[in-house]
Structure formats: structure tokens, C-alpha cells
Structure 1
């Protein structure tokens, strides 16, 4: 008989949910590939942000996760201009400790996994340039013209980099076909970006390690 694994995602915004829920599912599938048990992964459950402090958001998410039967809750937080260590020390670790020390912790999900991309989640969308070029119809445009010549985690504003690459790719098309924008990329890149490309990114490597430590006991 199959065992079911339910995972939740608390992300910064709607586009992060669109991208990350597909990457998370494929990552879990990769981790449990050689499990002795037959494990099925339920659809990723999205937990939206609420108004309030970061700690209040995580407390709310942990309660929602518990009530929804979520086994592990992923906490997405972009590093922006900070380092991953800074975000962990000042935001995520204190929030996790609050849950673990909470008087009502038995009614909260305690398996909390950080997901902190360098700068922002859009950096992960730059991990496979050839796939990106296919998605934006820019196969015949060289990388330098598109401004895509650096490693994914080295762009200070990966979202702006993507927007500019799309703009350049659309410039040679007729006005009737210039209807593509960055919002069209989150789902396909979340579904198609090879894990082998993501595994070259330090932030994904850390996420993979943390997620693996939580998922393997279910094997």
C-alpha cells in the first residue's frame, strides 16, 4: 500500500508559488526515487501570506500546515541584497525556533525547511539558458545580445535580467506577436528546468540537502 507525503509551501508571492511548487515536487520525486517504500506525493499545498510580522506569518503557516495534514512545510524567503546566512540568522531561524518553543507547538507543523534563493527565485529561472531561450523564442539570438552571459546566481536583479531578455527577443517580432511577458515563464520553467542545472546553484544545493534530511525518514 502506498504512503502519501503532503508538502506545503509558504512563499513570498503568487509567482513564487507558480515556479517553486513544480521545482519542489520534482525535487522530492528525485529524493525518494530509491526509497524502499511506495510513496506518492500529494499536490503541493500553497499557504498564502497574511498581514503581520514574519514570525506571525510562519506561526500562521505552521498551524495551517498542521490542520491540512502537511508533513513538511517549506519556507521560501528571497535573500535579495543580503546573504543567505543573514536571512537565516535574522529571519528564518528565529521563526523556526519560535515554532519549536511555542506553547501550542503540538498543533503546528514542526518540519520546517528553508528555501532561500540568492537574490530572488528568478535566479533559478536563469539556470538553463538554452531552455529559457526556447521558451522566449530567442534560439537564434546569441547570449551576449540577450544579456545572458553570467552564472545564474551572479545577477543582482535576475527578474530585471529576464524582463530585458524577453524585451530583446520580442523586438524583432511583429507587434501582433509581442504578447509574451515574464509571467508566462514561471510555470514552464518550474516544470522543465532540469534538476541537474539547479544542482549547480549553491542555494538549490542547500535546499536539496535540507529537504533530503526531512524526506528520507519517510523512506
Structure 2
């Protein structure tokens, strides 16, 4: 792949946009200057949420001047293999060039449950001692609802009460985004199978 690459990023939602920055860093680690564009699909009328429709819309917006398409989809309950084939099937129906999947297991939130120190910092109570109920590395990809567990951990970490607790609970989307923006790609997440698969997928495209 050439040194400078123009890419299209398609995620499940706008809160997942920080994954584009992570993808750019992973490619940069391999000597590829990837520049991802994230079209505001939520603001575009008539663009369905499925991968095929969003990729087609993104390609049109970029005048088909795209070298790489990066697609994010959580594995959820169907598993990585099924999700990968779902993405591949959708892209076969488009004019997408080379592509790279980002498929967290089971959800992106699982990647955010491994850094207790950062969770306490984002919750605004870095010296807190409350138990957060975080899973061990070998268990995190088996958690049934990592999003709800992350929400609970952030509330517990804040150790707030009354109206402040209610306000803290409403900050989840913002806090989740901050955690994703500050995800340490060399930290505990690097031991997860879904992350290692992401690195393999990046390697396959970058080399």
C-alpha cells in the first residue's frame, strides 16, 4: 500500500468515531499515513444505517477518490466470523476498494473495561476506592452486556449521590467517548483476541 492513503470510515454511530483515530495510529505504526474521512451520516437524509448504504454514500461524497474503507461493527451476539462475512457481503455490492474491518467482541465497550485507573479519572474521582466490578482480561470478551457494565463502573467510580449521581449518569456517552479517545493500544487491550485480529487485519492491508 502506498505511503499516503485516503480512507473512508464507516462506524455504527457517531460515538464510535474515535475508532478512526485508533485505526490511523495502527496504520501509522506500520509506516502508512492513513487519513480517514468520517461523513456525517446522521445528518444526511435518506441514507439507511446498513453498511452497504453508508459505504456507497461515503464513496459518492468523496468522489470515489478512496484507497481504503474501514468499517466498524460490533460482533454482538452473532460472533466475529458472522459479522465479518456480513461486512464482506455488503462491500461486495459496492465499488469499495481495499477494506479493513474493526470488530470488537462483543462490543466496543469491552475494550474500555480494562483500564481501572482511566475509568476512575474519567469519572472525576481518580483517588476513589469503590469496587467497580470490572472483569479480568480473560473474561471481558465473554461479558453479556459490556456497555451496561461500563455504565455501572463509571457511576460506581464517581461515588456520587443524589442529584449529582443523576447528572453523572447522564454523562455516559461523553465519558465513553473520552475512554475510547484515550485507549492505550499498547495496554491490556492488546491481549484481547479481537484486538489481535484487528492488528492482523491491519497488517494484511498495510503490507
TM-score category by the smaller chain? 0.7 to 0.9
Give, in angstroms, the shift of residue 173 of structure 1.
5.8
**SS of residue matched to 1:188:** helix
Deviation of 1:71 (Å): 1.8
For the residue of structure 1 that corresponds to 2:191, the secondary structure is coil
Q: What's the counterpart of residue 156 of structure 2?
A: 168
Q: Which structure 2 segments of 5+ residues have no match?
A: none
- 2:114, 2:107 → 1: CA distance? 13
On the 8 A contact 1:63/1:109 being kept in 2, the answer is no
Counterpart Cα distance in 1 of 2:120 and 2:49? 39
Residue number among 106, 119, 127 corresponding to 1:132 in the alignment: 119
Unaligned runs of 5+ in 1: 33-38, 100-107
Deviates more, 1:160-169 or 1:180-189: 180-189
Aligned-partner SS, 1:112: strand
TM-score normalised by length of structure 2: 0.79
In the superposition, the TM-score normalised over structure 1's length comes to 0.75
Aligned to 2:83: 87
1:55 aligned partner: 52
Name the residue aligned to 2:11: 11
- Aligned equivalents of 1:76 and 1:14: distance in 2? 11
SS of match in other structure, 1:209: helix
Partner Cα distance (1:52, 1:161) in 2:
26
Q: Is the 8 A contact 2:59 2:65 kept in 1?
A: no
Larger RCO: 1 or 2 (CA < 8 Å, sep 6+): 1
Query: RMSD of the TM alignment (CA)?
Result: 2.8
CA gap of 1:22–1:179, structure 2 versus 1, over 3 A, is farther
**Shift, 1:59, TM fit:** 3.4
* Partner Cα distance (2:203, 2:155) in 1: 38
Deviates more, 1:156-165 or 1:22-31: 22-31
